[in-house]
Amino acid sequence: MTRPFSLSVALAVACTAAVAAPTLVLQDDFSAYPNQAAPPAEAWESVSGAWCVSDGRLGVSADSAAVCLTRRVPELDALEYTARIVVRERVNTAGWATAGIALYLDTANNWRLNLVEGPDRKRYAEFGETLEGKWKANADGPTQLVATEDSKTLSGEWQYGTEYVMRIILSTNDIYGSITQIDGALVARYRYAWGGADSIRFGRPGMGVTGFSSAFGAVTVTAELPVAAGATAGAQPGRDGRVALLKDAIPGVDPARCDTLAATLRHAGLDVTFVSGTDLAAFGRFNAVAYECLLVAGTRYFPVAARENLLRFLRNGGHLAVLGGNVFEEPVAFVNDRWMSGPDVATALRAVKPQNLLFDFESGDVANWSRSTDNKPAASALAADIGPIGRCLRIQIEGLNNWDTFATPIPPFPAGHSLLCFQAKGDATTSQVAVELDESDGSRWIATVDITPEWAEYVLAPTEFAVWEPKSKAARQFNPAAAARLSFGLASSHTSKVPKGTRALWVDTVGTAPNPYGNVDLSRRIELNLFSDYEPYRLPQIASVVTAPGLTISVPPVEIKGAFSGRSAVGFAFQNESAFIPLLTALDARGRDRGWAGGMLVNYAGLYGNSVWTFFGIDSREFYTEPGFLDTLVAVLKTPKPALVESARTANAAAKTRELPLTTPAPAGFIRVTPDGKHLAYPDGRRFFAIGCNYVGPFDRCCKLWRDEFFTVDGVEDDFRKAHEAGLNCMRYWLWNVDKDIAKGDLRKIDAIKECARRYGVYLLINLPGTGYATVEDMLASHAAIAGAFADEPMVLGYDLRNEPYIGTVAGIQYPEQAKPAVLTTRFLDTFATELNSEAIHSTLKNRPNWLHFGTNVQGADAENALAAIMLWDKYARKYSISSTTFPGIDGALPPDDAYAPVVQAVDASFGHWVKLQVDAIRAVDRNHLITVGYNLVFSCLPSNRQLDFVSQHVYARPFSYADVMENITTLDRLAKVWPDKPITFGEFGYSNGVPMPNSPDGYLDRYTSSVGEMMHYLYAFAKGYDGCKKWMLNDWPYPIMRRYGDWDKGLQTRIYEERFGLYVYDGTPTGRPKPIAHALRCFSEYAAHVAQPGGTIEITPADLCIGAAYVYRNADALFVGNTSYQSDALSFTATQPANVMLWWDDKTLHVLATADAQVTVTPSALGPFGGTLAAGKCSSIATDGKTLRLGLLEGEPVLIR
């Protein structure tokens, strides 16, 4: 008789005292768990889907993928796993449906034994591997495995409601899967031998269902657990845990420090065993059975060979302790008798010369090179020029906008060759070149190479190339044997340090060579959600380290003084998976909190469930010899980890049950437009100037907050509170899925939003999700549901119908046949036959690239017409320099053009039709709120937008120069000329701290300079009488969160750019830390509330900042300056960083604030009747000569003078 649940580990000991492998047996028939409830998290983890125990079975009804894994069994490379399954019914209406058992690493790497029903409703069984995201990787290509002769699938279909037995047997030689009926009759069996191909050879047992309602029971797992084979020899016994301490000749590892740490920990009762890099790479010698924790001290280098086994150790619940910052920053390999990092190998490869010459350019023939660009009118060209020896290729790029490259066919690399060799240089402003290698199947691989004005030799290995358009998900790196095309050029996506304009670069002696260092891949870093090299996380000039406030675990209080530096020990917590605990705070000489010197990430679920990571970011070696630190380390390592895990899991569950009822009274009246239609106004008639931002969710769940499994009212309220503290009076608030909640009568999320808006005084521009639906009917129903729920809420400013619509957006939704827009019905291919290529249109529609912005739901003539409209509009826009977000070619209206008039008219009519449908649907249920569209292109200037209440433009010209800054800001003026009788706002703008800046010390736009540039936008709009700006966005979007939950997936540089737009930077806590722009907006908001209406003057001038611009804003009662220094009779200052130094005053008080530390001299009497007395605030210094007041202002600290 099978017991309800049992887990046993039997250790067999032979009479010779040799230790055999312990045997694990898991049995679970789910009868021990509460009925109609989720299984306990410590036993089964619901990775996705609403899994529920019912009558002794674990089941799920899953329209999309649902996965559940056992937490009782680690990832093993030898086991037998059986379970019973019954498929009850199909729940999705189209596509594929599957149900079965699995061996699981993650969603991209697993084995699945499934019962399948296809779109044609045919049923069969299958057993396949997903490797690096490619399904059935075992069936073809370089990852194909050999099916042995006992593989067999019977012809009969499986049946609904019938119970089957599934079995997977995993060994070090092969993997076996079978499906049988209860009586043992075979349905299917499979066996694949490992061979030499890459494959998933270990995993955690689990179940997966897509499109079915299915139930599982009688789970049994039998396995032999690993033991440490020799690594524990000589280990000293310890009563409080087993610690593996890395000690090897790896760069940065200090043997003496390792000995000191080991002695300290052993003295405290811990078992410490030294392990080498080789040990770490071997599962039999380093695993979560042999050790509880790995301790790595004081190195930024980690053996790349140990990557997979370390991750496996952590996934199996092993713990990690890291001293000295990100120890995984630089992978190293033992090559040619020494440890070498990627930069070491790159330096050594510079000496390699091409053995197979592709081009020497001596003939000057460039006929086989073709150009690709988004700016075809510009006369970029190739030409022969003088090279280092003989002739070379000059690439002259005129009017660089987004990309301009030149390509030529090449043969596959010769056998054994993997290196691309070439010489290159750039002009004074061209510091990068994009090198692209395409494969014969169309896959594109691009490397970014830093170049200088001097000739140099460059050698690129396959790992230097990142995939841009993969044709095979299993491809991990460029395949030289499949090379078919080579290109050189510039592209903003890759050469982001190169500004727009006229640029030149030179290339010579292009060829291939074998790699003398073999095929070592040092590009695959261990990317745990710990640490970041983002500038706000750096800890310079730390004077002391103290115990973090509010610490809930038992750690002795410490104060460690010294001169330290490092990186903030931030753990990037994932909602529903992990929780961050600050351990130690790093203080500067003035006692200001600069970040975390130590932290802990408790993984209570997810990929690393039950694994606890402790990490310290100080990189000063003497810190780790301090008694206070050693006491902290010992206390943390001895803290019972299961209790931490359970506490975090319980806290997460409790947060989901909290509610925020609507109790705060609503204000009277609604935001409206003034009687002349030109401005926004409060209900009492006062001008409303939007000091706002965009909101897409908390740090740890950007774009996910509104899904039931991610929603908490704490997440909502924390961010409203932050917006209020930053002085914001509105947010453009992105909502997803709430229309579905409203349809079910669930207003919990809506009420929480309303309550927070009222409580914190933040108006909302609701960004509607409905335009993402497939049909007009669904879109309008969504709009009506949301507008109906908010119709009587005064804290709603209005509705934004769509974020950044394109022609393809308007064309891509399904309309009733009689209500299609003109871009779907106008036959442009006939009227513009000479400008359009029908073959190109058909080819593009076949591939459906993302820039179309419509999917396969648009077919036939509709699709041809829509694509033709897109192509023709692009030609028109480029002709008049109106294709960017700032459209500098606009002067009062769209440029008239007889040739393109039919296109402009059709596009205008289509947008007008699309907008009217939505406006009418909203007005049917809500006549109180304003309506706009968040345009990012010149479509905002279409005449049909007159039916909108105000203009909301998105502008993103990157600030490489004074001209770029002015182009962005003066978009407001161009819009005002088009719409002189409408409120003009920026719905999105912002300067990301991920903008690569050629003249920035950090390489990226720093947060101090960006705050100066962003304040120019708010103040320009305020001074010119426009109606406000909304910065993108409230919170940074941390890169590890992007990596975990998904984003645009456009490469590292794009992710860095998108990561760093926030007013607040993540620090592991819900609040995060304010950037300088948050301080500036708080001060500006206080001033704006003080004055009757927007006004004043602003002067933006060229300056020696990396953005090339500074400003002075003046009004009768204000003086704001953005620069590193300034001199006038009333105010002078010098700042350590670019700063907004802000003074405003009323009859009694002078308010002063700087967004960076600054030495400020103020003459109070020049501004008002102030005596020069410091009434409130904190300064680093203060002095007066009776007339002037000299203040050492501290970043973000307001000072009041009377």
**Cβ–Cβ under 8 Å, residues 361 and 350:** no
User: Strands 1174-1176 and 1199-1201, how do they pair?
Assistant: antiparallel
- Sheet strands (E) in 788-859: 796-803
DSSP character for 1100?
E
Q: HEC profile for 729-743?
A: CEEEEECCCHHHHHH
* Alpha carbon distance 409, 470 (integer Å): 19
Strand stretches in 278-390, DSSP E: 293-297, 301-303, 319-323, 330-335, 338-341, 356-359, 370-373, 381-386
Topology annotation, domain 244-329+544-651: Rossmann fold (3.40.50)
| Helix, coil or strand: residue 1081 | helix
- Phi, psi of 1101, rounded to the nearest 5 degrees: -130, 155
Task: Please state, in angstroms and rounded to a whole number, the distance separating the CA atoms of residues 856 and 812.
Answer: 9
SS3 216: strand
Beta strands (DSSP E) in 107-211 are 109-117, 123-131, 134-135, 146-147, 152-153, 163-170, 174-181, 186-193, 204-210
Which amino acid, one-letter code, is at 1183? Answer: A
pLDDT of residue 770: 79
The amino acid that residue 105 corresponds to is L
What does the angle CA 496 – CA 498 – CA 501 come to, to the nearest 5 degrees? 125
User: What is the domain partition of the chain in residue ranges?
Assistant: 5-224, 244-329+544-651, 344-513, 1116-1201
Token pair belonging to 327: 């120890």
Residue 960: phi and psi, rounded to 5, are -80, -15
Angle formed at CA 247 by CA 241 and CA 253, multiple of 5 degrees: 125
Burial classification of residue 438, based on how many CB atoms lie within 10 Å of its CB (0-12 exposed, 13-18 middle, 19 or more buried): buried
Do the two domains 244-329+544-651 and 344-513 of this chain adopt the same fold? no
Neighbours of 126 (CB within 10 A): 19
First to last CA, the chain: 85
Matching residue, tokens 């161009």: 974
Strands 319-323 and 293-297: parallel
| 658-to-40, 595, 655, 712, 714 alpha-carbon distances in Å | 21, 30, 6, 7, 8
Give dist(CA 1080, CA 384) in Å, integer: 53
Place of tokens 């090379």: 483
Strand partners, 169: 80, 176
Beta-sheet strands, E only, within 349-469 = 356-359, 370-373, 381-386, 391-400, 403-409, 419-426, 432-439, 444-450, 456-460, 466-469
DSSP assignment letter at 430:
-
Closest CA relative to residue 877, chosen from 938, 823, 804, 933: 938
Calpha distance 1138→1130 (Å, rounded) = 20
Q: Give the integer Cα–Cα distance in Å for 901 and 894.
A: 11
Q: Which two tokens stand for residue 974?
A: 């161009």
- Non-local (6+) Cβ contacts of 910 within 8 A are 807, 810, 811, 821, 822, 823, 824, 869
**Structural contact between residues 508 and 464, judged by C-beta atoms closer than 8 angstroms:** no
Q: Which tokens hold the place of 396?
A: 């002259």
The CATH label, of 2.60.120.560, 3.40.50.720, 2.60.40.1930, 3.40.1190.20, for the domain at 5-224 is 2.60.120.560
1096 phi, psi to nearest 5 deg? 100, -170
Joined tokens for residue 182 = 């209860």
User: Residue 167: which of 178, 157, 175 has the closest Cα?
Assistant: 178
pLDDT recorded at residue 1051: 74
* Tokens 């001596």 belong to residue: 362
pLDDT along the chain (1202 residues), means of 10: 48 37 82 89 88 93 92 88 96 90 91 94 93 88 83 75 96 93 92 90 94 95 72 51 92 89 94 94 91 91 93 95 90 88 89 95 92 89 94 94 94 96 96 95 92 96 84 70 96 87 95 90 88 95 95 90 97 95 97 97 93 96 94 94 94 94 96 97 96 96 90 96 98 92 93 98 94 89 96 98 96 94 96 91 89 90 96 94 93 94 97 98 98 98 98 96 96 98 98 89 92 98 98 96 77 88 96 97 97 96 96 97 96 97 94 97 88 84 90 96 89
pLDDT of residue 234: 43
Q: Right CATH number for 344-513 from 1.10.10.10, 2.60.120.260, 3.40.50.150, 2.40.370.10?
A: 2.60.120.260
What tokens were used for 912? 């007008």
The pLDDT assigned to 471 comes to: 55
Q: Could you write out the DSSP letters of every residue in 3-21?
A: -SEEEEEE--B-TT-PBPP
CB 1106 within 8 A of CB 1132: no
* Cα 444 to Cα 136: distance, rounded to the nearest angstrom: 23
The DSSP call for residue 621 is: G
- Closest listed residue to residue 1080, CA positions, set 1003, 984, 1193: 1193
| Contact predicate 455/498, CB 8 Å | no
Distance CA 1099, CA 986 (A): 20
- If one counts every other C-beta atom within 10 angstroms of the C-beta of residue 839, the result is 8
Helix, strand or coil for residue 874?
Answer: helix
pLDDT of residue 289: 87
Q: Could you count the other beta carbons within 10 Å of the beta carbon of residue 398?
A: 16
Going from the C-alpha of 739 to that of each of 64, 698, 770, 787, 804, the distances in angstroms are 19, 20, 8, 10, 21
Residue 235 has a pLDDT of 46
Burial class (CB in 10 A: 0-12, 13-18, 19+), 1163: middle
SS3 assignment, position 1165:
helix
Helix (H) / strand (E) element for 158: namely none
What pTM was estimated for this model as a whole?
Answer: 0.91
What's the token pair of residue 101?
A: 């058992």
Q: Residue 719 burial (CB < 10 Å; 0-12/13-18/19+)?
A: buried
Q: Which of 892, 900, 882, 986 lies closest to 937, judged by CA?
A: 882
Of 1109, 1153, 1148, 1118, the residue nearest 1133 (C-alpha): 1153
